[in-house]
Structure 1
Amino acid sequence: MSFRSTLHIDHRFLTHTLLSLLLLSLLPASLHAARGANSGKMEVLPSQKAAPAAVFLDAQGTEADLRRQLRLKTGVTELSADLAQTRFSVAPVSTFGFAPQQGLGLALVSQSPDMLLERTAPAPNAYEIHKLADGSALVVGFVSADLKPQLTPQLRPKNIRLALYSNPSEKAPHIVAVPLSKLAVDQMPHRLDPKNPNSPVVLEMDLQSSSNRQSPHGGQ
C-alpha cells in the first residue's frame, strides 16, 4: 500500500472519529432539553398575600384593659412621640393609631383607605387602627356576643353584616379587630346620640370573605 493511500485512510478515520466525539458531546444536552420539555414544569407566580383574619378577643375587663390585651395579641405598639399625625401608608409597621370616625368613614366609602392616623385619640369615639407587621390594616371596635362564631373562622363561607361600635356597651361588649381590606360600607358612621359629639359611634358594614381592595401597605 502506498504512502498516499495510507494517508488518505488515516484522514478518513480521523474525520469519522472527530464527528463521533462531536455527536457524543451534544447528546447529553439534547437529552437534558428533552427531559425538561417533557417534565411538564410550569413557572409558578408568587401568590397574593391573603388578608388577615378577624381577631375576636373573648375576655372581660375595662375598655382600656381590653384594648391593651388586643394590642398584645396583634403585636402593635403606640406610634412614636415624633409622629403625632401620619398617614397610614407611611406609618411604621406594628404600630397603632386612631382615626376620627368621619375620616374612617370617608376612607371606607371612597375605598381609599390611606387615612390620617393620630397618636392619641382625637375624640372618645375615634376608631383604633392597627398596622400589622405585614403592612395590612385592622379596624378595632366592639360587637355583640352573637357574632363570635361568624368572626372567628379564618375562611368564612359568606359575607357578614356587621355593626362595629367605637366603644363597648351592654349591646356590644366584645372587642374585635377586622381587616380593613375586607370591609364594604355604603354609609357613614353615625353617633348613637346625635346631640352628643362624643357619643359612641356605630359603623354598619359588610365583612366580606375575600379582600375587595389593596391595603396601602407602605411598611417601614
Structure 2
Amino acid sequence: MPDRVSQLTRTRPAPCLIASPLLVLTLLNLIPASIAGAQGGKTEVFPVQKAAPATVFIEAPGSETDLRRQLRAKNGVSELSSSTSVIRFSVAPTGSFGFITPNLLGMALITRSPDLSIEQVPPVSNAFEIHKLADGSGMLVGFVEASLKPQLTTSERPKSVRLGLYSNPSEKAPHIVAVPLVKLVVDRMPIRLNPKEPGSAVLFDMDLQSTANRTSSQTGP
C-alpha cells in the first residue's frame, strides 16, 4: 500500500509539467499578435500647422522708395527674377516679393482664393506689394495711419482690428506695414481715392483677425 501511494504521489506533478510548456506556447503566440497590432494599427496624422507671421510696422519716416526698401530688408525678401513676368504665389520662390493690381487682390481676398498672381514690376502705380517669406507665408504691404500702430504691433490682439490699408503713402497714412494674408478678412473691393484718376491711390478696408488663434496651415489667402 505505501508503494502504491508513493507511485501516485510521483505521478501527480506530470500535468503541471505539461501545462507549463502549453502556457509558454500560448503566450508566445499572443505576443506577435500584440506587436503586429501596435505596428499596424491606424494612426491619425494631423496637418502641420504654423503660426501666422507677426505684423511688421516701420515707424521711421522716409520716402516711399526708402520705406519699401526698409520693409523688404526686414522681411528678408528680394525682387523676383527678371525672367519672371507673372507667377502664381504658390510657385514663387520663398524670400521674394511681387505686385498685384487692387482689383485682382480684392477678388482673391473676398473669394478666399488659395493663390495669387503676382508680377515682378508693378503693373499700375497703385499696385499692392506681396511678400513671400522664407517659410512660405504671405504678407500684404500697404500704408496706414499712425493711430493704428498700438493695435498692429501688440503681441496679443484679443479682438479683430478694422484696418484701412492704402496702396501708397500720404500725410494721412505715412507708415508702411506688412500684414499676414491668412489673417485678413475682406468683404468689399478696394476703392480709388480719386475715382477720376485710374492711377489714384487705393484704400482697402479689411479686418485683421485676433492673435487668439494664430496657427494656420495655409500660406496664402
Same fold (TM over 0.5): yes
Distance 1:184 1:214 in 2: 16
Q: Measured at CA, do residues 9 and 50 of structure 1 come closer, stay the same or move farther in structure 2, by a change above 3 Å?
A: same
- Match of residue 87 from structure 1: 88
- State whether residues 183 and 212 of structure 1, in contact with CA within 8 Å, keep that contact through their aligned partners in structure 2: no
Superposition deviation, residue 155 in structure 1? 2.8
Q: Helix, strand or coil: the match of 2:51?
A: coil
Distance 1:76 1:196 in 2: 31
Distance 1:205 1:13 in 2: 81
- Match of residue 215 from structure 1: 218
Superposition deviation, residue 82 in structure 1? 1.4
Superposition deviation, residue 154 in structure 1? 3.1
Distance 2:69 2:192 in 1: 24
- Match of residue 39 from structure 2: none
- Match of residue 194 from structure 1: 195
Please state if 1:133 is matched with 2:134: yes
Superposition deviation, residue 196 in structure 1? 0.7
Distance 2:127 2:202 in 1: 8
Aligned pair count?
Answer: 206
Please state if 1:64 is matched with 2:65: yes
- Match of residue 37 from structure 1: none
Distance 1:46 1:213 in 2: 10
Superposition deviation, residue 212 in structure 1? 10
Q: Measured at CA, do residues 214 and 198 of structure 1 come closer, stay the same or move farther in structure 2, by a change above 3 Å?
A: farther
Cα deviations across residues 143-179 of structure 1 (Å, max 9, x unaligned)?
A: 0001000001233100000000000000000000001
Please state if 1:153 is matched with 2:172: no
Superposition deviation, residue 44 in structure 1? 9.1
Distance 2:207 2:217 in 1: 17
- State whether residues 181 and 211 of structure 1, in contact with CA within 8 Å, keep that contact through their aligned partners in structure 2: no
Superposition deviation, residue 73 in structure 1? 0.6
Distance 1:189 1:110 in 2: 14
Superposition deviation, residue 53 in structure 1? 1.3
Q: Which runs of 5+ in 2 are unaligned?
A: 4-10, 36-43
Moved more, 10-19 or 113-122: 10-19
Distance 2:108 2:23 in 1: 73
- Match of residue 54 from structure 1: 55
- State whether residues 181 and 214 of structure 1, in contact with CA within 8 Å, keep that contact through their aligned partners in structure 2: no
- State whether residues 159 and 207 of structure 1, in contact with CA within 8 Å, keep that contact through their aligned partners in structure 2: yes
- State whether residues 54 and 178 of structure 1, in contact with CA within 8 Å, keep that contact through their aligned partners in structure 2: yes
Q: Alpha carbon RMSD of aligned pairs, Å?
A: 3.5
Q: Measured at CA, do residues 16 and 103 of structure 1 come closer, stay the same or move farther in structure 2, by a change above 3 Å?
A: closer
The 5-angstrom pairing of residues 1-220 of structure 1 reads 45=46, 48-209=49-210, 210=213, 215-216=218-219
Cα deviations across residues 113-135 of structure 1 (Å, max 9, x unaligned)?
A: 41210001011100000011111
Identity %: 56
Cα deviations across residues 167-196 of structure 1 (Å, max 9, x unaligned)?
A: 000000000000111111111101101101
TM-score normalised by the chain length of structure 1: 0.78
Superposition deviation, residue 214 in structure 1? 5.7
Superposition deviation, residue 83 in structure 1? 1.0
Distance 1:14 1:113 in 2: 71
4+ runs deviating over 6 angstroms: 8-23
- Match of residue 39 from structure 1: none
Superposition deviation, residue 109 in structure 1? 1.0
